[in-house]
Structure 1
């Protein structure tokens, strides 16, 4: 097992489940900090701002600055700005997505947007979903912050953003452009911002379809931990394997 300068951790299912920290992850991250390693958090969850995400981690005993947290909301806002400039955006999502879009100069509208951006929204109602479907059918660009159909909580698996995006796709026949993992936008942004070479980075995650695939696509080493979505026994069914497979992060030699 080689040394890495930058560890990129998924959050849901890897560092915590809902509001419950995974003790082995907290311990490993603390040790990495003491050893002088750089630690980043790469999450498909679009709901929280980086500041509020840092506060949540602090409550779990993990020190993190907002600059070390890359969310799918930030990546989505940056992608739209780079590809299309400032836009009128019809948004399904929470505080994290709104702050990211407005911070990038996009204008939030309630209907008739140039783009429909879908993030997790735990207060969603029928009319907002219907409006999003109508806008996509009328030609608005359809963007999903991520494609996770479910994510783990302390209660079990609950609907993720991909479930909402899938409803709109099913209604309109239009597939969304997905920004979060397994796409590489967030990892590329971390590498660029912090002048990191790929051989210095490792991605740690529980979900093969999102976390591990993102690392494989970006060309960095990956560590799968059996604490969330994909069970270790199921990894044999995939053609490409993660660099490391662990039952828990306590098994990493530190």
Structure 2
């Protein structure tokens, strides 16, 4: 008999949808969670959108009714990490390469976004980033600013294919500064621990669900949380079979999982 979990942390890209394309079994999986009163958060490395934007996208495009409180992004985790783990005070000066989701998350907890003598540099996905922005980030880190990466995903799965992700942007900064960032998003355990705290579930009664072994599944392994691998996105069964530690569970798609 399969273990029953009180809380689920569910990836989005490649697990619930692929851009505007629906993924078989995803909508039905969420319906089963709701029917069985399971707690869940959509856990995404995408820092570009606010939780309200993610919830609206799920609700209107994919017919999965969602509230902002059911979404936890790497942007939100970054803000929580700076405030709670690093105890950065209100007004801390932060230089950001990122979009509205990241900027909103940081300002909502009282941080100041500026390129004037920043104490922290945060780099996330930014489709409008230019050379001067990377130059400012590089110079600030060289002067001692704490360097945070929302996530290090090299690519993002979309309906167009795999496009460059935040990890590709951070690679530029890392190369220029020779400084490794503190990574918040998956596969770091940071985002899993912070998401669990929001959900109110323990290590042993939480399940993380995803399509990417190297982010979703490794995040669970690193945070000592059980994992469910769905083969609807990036990682293939052959790739996963070659890894040192297998996911706790594996399914073809989420139709195969009973909550």
TM-score normalised by L of structure 1: 0.95
1:236 paired to 2:244: no
Superposed CA offset, 1:122-159 (max 9, x none) = 11111111211111122211110011111111111011
Equivalent residue number for residue 250 of structure 1: 255
1:90 paired to 2:92: no
1:183 paired to 2:185: no
* 1:227 aligned residue (223, 232, 240): 232
CA positional deviation for 1:121: 0.5
Give the 5 Å matches for 1:158-237: 158-237=163-242
| Cα distance in structure 2, aligned partners of 1:243 and 1:192 | 22
CA positional deviation for 1:80: 1.3
In the alignment, structure 1 segments of 5+ residues that lack a partner are none
SS in 1 for 2:103: helix
| Cα distance in structure 1, aligned partners of 2:166 and 2:198 | 27
CA positional deviation for 1:199: 2.2
CA positional deviation for 1:100: 0.6
CA positional deviation for 1:26: 1.4
CA RMSD of aligned residues (A): 1.4
| Cα distance in structure 2, aligned partners of 1:24 and 1:194 | 24
- How many residues align? The count is 254
| Cα distance in structure 2, aligned partners of 1:25 and 1:96 | 24
CA positional deviation for 1:111: 4.1
Structure 1's consecutive aligned runs of 4 or more residues displaced over 4 angstroms after TM superposition are none
